[in-house]
Amino acid sequence: MLINRRELLRSTALGTTGLAMTPAFNHLLAAPAEASPDHLHRFIFIRKSNGNLTTQFGLPSFSSDELKKHEEKQAFDLDLDRHELPEWLQTLDDYKHNMTILHGISMSVSGGGHYSYSGCMGAYKAGRDILSNIKRATIDFELARLFPSPFGHVEMSLAVPHGRDHRTGIVSGYSAPAAKQRNYCYADPMTAHQELFKSVTNTEEVASDIALFDYLHEQENRNLSGLSGNERLKISDQIASLQAIRDRNTKVESLGEKVKQHLPEIDPIHAGGGEDATLPQKQAAFTDIIVGAMASGLTNVVTYTIDDLGTDITSLPENNQKTSIHQIGHGGQISGAAEMRNAIKTHHMKQVKTLVTKLSAIPEGDGTMFDNTTIIYMPETGAGHHSPDTEAPMVIMSGKNTKLDIAGRYIRLPFHGTKGHMTLSNWYTTLLNAHGNPIEHYGDLDLTMQRNRLPQTGPIKRFIA
Domain membership of residue 203 (yes or no) is: no
Lowest-pLDDT range of 77-86, 106-115, 407-416: 106-115
Mean pLDDT of 278-302: 96
pLDDT digits (tens, 9 = 90+) for 60-107: 999 999 999 999 999 999 999 999 999 999 999 999 999 999 999 999
Domain carrying residue 91: 40-125+134-166+280-290+301-463
Domain membership of residue 89 (yes or no) is: yes
Q: How many distinct structural domains can be found in the chain?
A: 1
Mean pLDDT of 190-202: 86
Mean pLDDT of 219-236: 56
CB atoms within 10 A of CB 226: 8
Residue 29 confidence (pLDDT) above 90: no
Share above pLDDT 70 across residues of the chain, in percent, rounded to a whole number:
79
Domain membership of residue 33 (yes or no) is: no
Domain membership of residue 415 (yes or no) is: yes
Q: For the chain, what is the mean pLDDT?
A: 85
- Identify the residue with better confidence: 232 or 111: 111
DSSP character string of 286-333: HHHHHHHHHHTTS-SEEEEE---TTS--TTSTT-TT---HHHHHH-TT
Mean pLDDT of 27-40: 52
> CA angle at residue 115 from 347 to 320, to 5 degrees?
35
Domain membership of residue 209 (yes or no) is: no
Share above pLDDT 90 across residues of the chain, in percent, rounded to a whole number:
62
Residue 214 confidence (pLDDT) above 90: no
- The band of 10, judged by pLDDT with boundaries at 50, 70 and 90, is very low
DSSP character string of 99-163: EEEEE--B-TTT--SS--TTHHHHTS---SS-GGG--S--HHHHHHHHS--TT-EEEEE----TT
CATH number, position 156: 3.40.720
Residue 456 confidence (pLDDT) above 70: yes
Mean pLDDT of 401-426: 97
The pLDDT value recorded for residue 217 is 52
The pLDDT value recorded for residue 222 is 61
Domain membership of residue 11 (yes or no) is: no
Domain membership of residue 6 (yes or no) is: no
Lowest-pLDDT range of 2-16, 257-271, 445-459: 2-16
Domain membership of residue 192 (yes or no) is: no
